[in-house]
Amino acid sequence: MNARITLATAGRILRQLKSDHRTIALLIVVPCVLVGLLAWIYNDSPVPVFDRVGAALLGVFPAVVMFVVTSVATLRERTSGTLERLLTTPLGKGDFMFGYALAFGVMAIIQAVVATTFAVFVCGLDIAGPSWLLVVVALLDALLGTALGLLASGFARTEFQAVQFMPAFILPQFLLCGLLAPRSELPGGLKELSDVLPLSYAVDAMQEITRNADPLPLVWPELVIVSGFIVGSLVLGSLTLRRRTP
């Protein structure tokens, strides 16, 4: 990998995104709309359901959106022949993958700040911990979705197949991450499976921020694990990335 080439790749992707207003809207507006709908659904509930699950879903929604956008965008580069032409230059596969991650990481920062601000100040999400830590976890969740999307794109032949990978990569994590039932109460086998899924640790971190006024000592191990999954997915994605789709 070459840092200069990686940064140049990230700059190219950001310039493309700048002119793609629909993708920008999808990345920034959709998570806010989903959080807003959830708050509206539980607006009149006598039990503070939104406060209990809103923070966790604030991490899940960006991961899903980032997965779809990055997997489709990366596959489009490959099917159009752009990636094959780029790889004839000094650009390496690692430069390409981490350049994409940096570019969408910038968008993830904006997405995390906007979505968290909307949830706390507009939807009235009440959390015991600091809001800035909520932003950090939401950012890592978005980067996780980006990394998994880049990894999934290597196994897809068409954009439609890239979208179809979302149930395989994201839905099992959504079901087992602790949102629908506490992970400690999952049947034998499922609990162990949830322990190796990165979204489980992201949701655990969000729930700690919801419950504790000083959650950092409990949250930082979860953040390290999620960060490890992000780096691992990017490295594995660079190893499995193909120059073109046959």
Dihedral sign for Cα atoms in the order 144, 169, 240, 70: negative
What is the reported pLDDT for 123?
85
Q: Virtual CA dihedral for 84, 109, 111, 130, nearest 10 degrees?
A: 150
* pTM score, whole prediction: 0.85
pLDDT per residue as tens digits for the range 206-219:
888 888 888 888 89
Instruction: Tell me which DSSP letter residue 142 carries.
Output: H
Longest dimension (CA), the chain: 61
8 A C-beta contact, residue 112 and residue 63:
no
Extract the tokens encoding 138. Answer: 């939401």
In the predicted structure, residue 77 carries a pLDDT above the cut 60: yes
